[in-house]
């Protein structure tokens, strides 16, 4: 009890899911001990990561005898140093594995290496760590997550069907240091180039609703003929919609998002967002945890694994597929 209390104080915004069931079934851990897996996410203010956390917690309850889960997240999308700190806390707690969705693809590499050097299995989910930075540190970390360029292209191509050559569009990007932000930018660009649309501006709003609202608020008066805004995540699509409503242009400008959060599903049904991309947030961490368990149980070589992305539109929502 005392140890558990201490653990919770140490992790700050962390949560622990443990179970008192039988010890790990089929665990190859020393003494058949049940592995402790830490999930280190990004902003828990973002519904995407709440969904991810709930998916992981549900999986832990279903497999309570196979592992214990400690889930952590940061408050602010840009707080990279806080995420490094969370990693350090998990290293001092000597967890068996860390499943990490890195806020920045380079800045988290040294602490991942530090974890590996301490004998902790590290699995990278959601946003890929930078291969160059990993190579420089001599670290190999398997990645479990989607092809973000492909996902963005799904949404961009769907939007393209409504555009004519020369139509003006804007891109709202995620945090520049995140590999998935860059990949989504490229995917949107692929679609817009193929459609011969004109990208009049592309600006980072760091995954954040408030920032996206200000960025789009400033872009709108400069581009009176704008036809669409492609946002690299749904939080920023919410900001774009707020700015468009504020400017009275919601009917003239289409919005595209990425994540499939509930608030955006609602806006798609209302016709204020055209489409989004489901990257199955509830399954991403679960896949990473499974992968960590496989490595701990010496079942799998550390290869990357691609997870699915699906286009979400008014039609797919009406068909009740999600």
Q: How far is CA 84 from the centre of its chain?
A: 17
Question: What backbone phi and psi angles, to 5 degrees, belong to 46?
Answer: -90, 125
Query: How many residues contact ligand ALL, by CB under 6 A?
Result: 14
- Kindly write out the interface string for residues 129-168 of this chain, putting x where it contacts ligand ALL by CB under 6 A and - elsewhere: ----------------------------------------
Nearer to ligand ALL, 173 or 259 (CB): 259
The CB-nearest residue to ligand ALL is 233
Shortest approach of ligand ALL to residue 152 CB, angstroms?
Answer: 10
Subset of 85-114 contacting ligand ALL (CB under 6 A): 101
Q: Which of these ranges, 43-51, 90-98, 155-163, 194-202, lies near ligand ALL under the rule CB under 6 A?
A: 43-51
Token output for 117: 């050097």
Q: Which of these ranges, 38-46, 59-67, 156-164, 296-304, lies near ligand ALL under the rule CB under 6 A?
A: 38-46
Q: Which of these ranges, 24-32, 40-48, 153-161, 312-320, lies near ligand ALL under the rule CB under 6 A?
A: 40-48
Nearer to ligand ALL, 195 or 205 (CB): 205
- The secondary structure of 226-270, three-state, reads EEEEEECCHHHHHHHHHHHHHHCCCCCCEEECCCCCHHHHHHHHH
DSSP state of 30: G
Nearer to ligand ALL, 45 or 300 (CB): 45
CB-neighbour burial class of residue 215 (10 A; exposed 0-12, middle 13-18, buried 19+): buried
Nearer to ligand ALL, 7 or 311 (CB): 311
Nearer to ligand ALL, 126 or 272 (CB): 126
* CB contact at 8 A, 187 and 148: yes
Binding status of residue 43 toward ligand ALL by CB under 6 A = yes
The sign of the CA dihedral 182, 188, 194, 200 is negative
Shortest approach of ligand ALL to residue 5 CB, angstroms?
Answer: 30
Angle at 226 between CA 221 and CA 231, to 5 degrees: 100
DSSP state of 27: -
Subset of 199-228 contacting ligand ALL (CB under 6 A): 207
Binding status of residue 258 toward ligand ALL by CB under 6 A = yes
Shortest approach of ligand ALL to residue 160 CB, angstroms?
Answer: 21
Binding status of residue 42 toward ligand ALL by CB under 6 A = yes
Binding status of residue 283 toward ligand ALL by CB under 6 A = no
One residue of 48, 67, 179, 188 binding ligand ALL per CB under 6 A = 48
One residue of 17, 51, 116, 180 binding ligand ALL per CB under 6 A = 180
**Cβ neighbours of residue 312 closer than 8 Å, sequence gap 6 or more:** 260, 265, 268, 275, 276, 277, 278, 322
Distances (CA, A) of 169 to 3, 38, 199, 224: 55, 41, 5, 11
With H, G, I as helix, E, B as strand and everything else as coil, classify residue 304: coil
Query: Beta strand 310-313 with 275-278: parallel, antiparallel or unpaired?
Result: antiparallel
Shortest approach of ligand ALL to residue 114 CB, angstroms?
Answer: 22
Binding status of residue 126 toward ligand ALL by CB under 6 A = yes
* CB contact at 8 A, 115 and 55: no
One residue of 77, 157, 167, 278 binding ligand ALL per CB under 6 A = 77
DSSP state of 296: H
Token output for 127: 């946003």
Binding site for ligand ALL (CB under 6 A): 42-43, 46, 48, 77, 101, 126-127, 180, 207, 233, 235, 258-259
């Amino acid at each position: 009890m005392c140890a558990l209390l201490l653990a919770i104080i140490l992790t700050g915004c962390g949560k622990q899911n443990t179970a008192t069931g039988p010890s790990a079934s089929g665990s190859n851990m020393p003494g058949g001990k049940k592995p402790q897996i830490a999930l280190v996410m990004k902003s828990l203010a973002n519904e995407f990561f709440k969904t991810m956390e709930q998916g992981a917690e549900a999986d832990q309850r279903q497999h309570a005898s196979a592992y214990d889960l400690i889930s952590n997240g940061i408050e602010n999308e840009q707080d990279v140093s806080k995420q490094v700190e969370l990693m350090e806390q998990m290293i001092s707690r000597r967890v068996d594995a860390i499943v990490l969705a890195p806020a920045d693809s380079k800045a988290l590499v040294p602490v991942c290496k530090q974890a590996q050097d301490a004998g902790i299995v590290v699995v990278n989910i959601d946003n890929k760590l930078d291969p160059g930075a990993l190579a420089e540190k001599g670290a190999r970390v398997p990645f479990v997550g989607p092809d973000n360029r492909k996902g963005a292209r799904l949404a961009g191509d769907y939007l393209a069907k409504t555009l004519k050559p020369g139509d003006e569009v804007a891109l709202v990007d995620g945090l520049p240091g995140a590999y998935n932000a860059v990949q989504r930018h490229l995917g949107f660009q692929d679609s817009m180039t193929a459609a011969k649309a004109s990208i009049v501006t592309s600006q980072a709003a760091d995954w954040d609703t408030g920032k996206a609202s200000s960025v789009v608020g400033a872009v709108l008066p400069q581009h009176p003929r704008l036809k669409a805004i492609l946002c690299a995540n749904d939080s920023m699509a919410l900001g774009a919609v707020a700015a468009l409503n504020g400017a009275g242009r919601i009917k003239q400008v289409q919005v595209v998002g990425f994540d499939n959060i509930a608030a955006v599903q609602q806006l798609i049904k209302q016709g204020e967002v055209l489409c989004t991309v489901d990257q199955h947030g509830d399954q991403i961490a679960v896949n990473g945890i499974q992968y960590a368990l496989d490595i701990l149980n010496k079942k799998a070589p550390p290869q990357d694994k691609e997870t699915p992305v699906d286009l979400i539109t008014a039609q797919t929502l009406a068909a009740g597929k999600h």
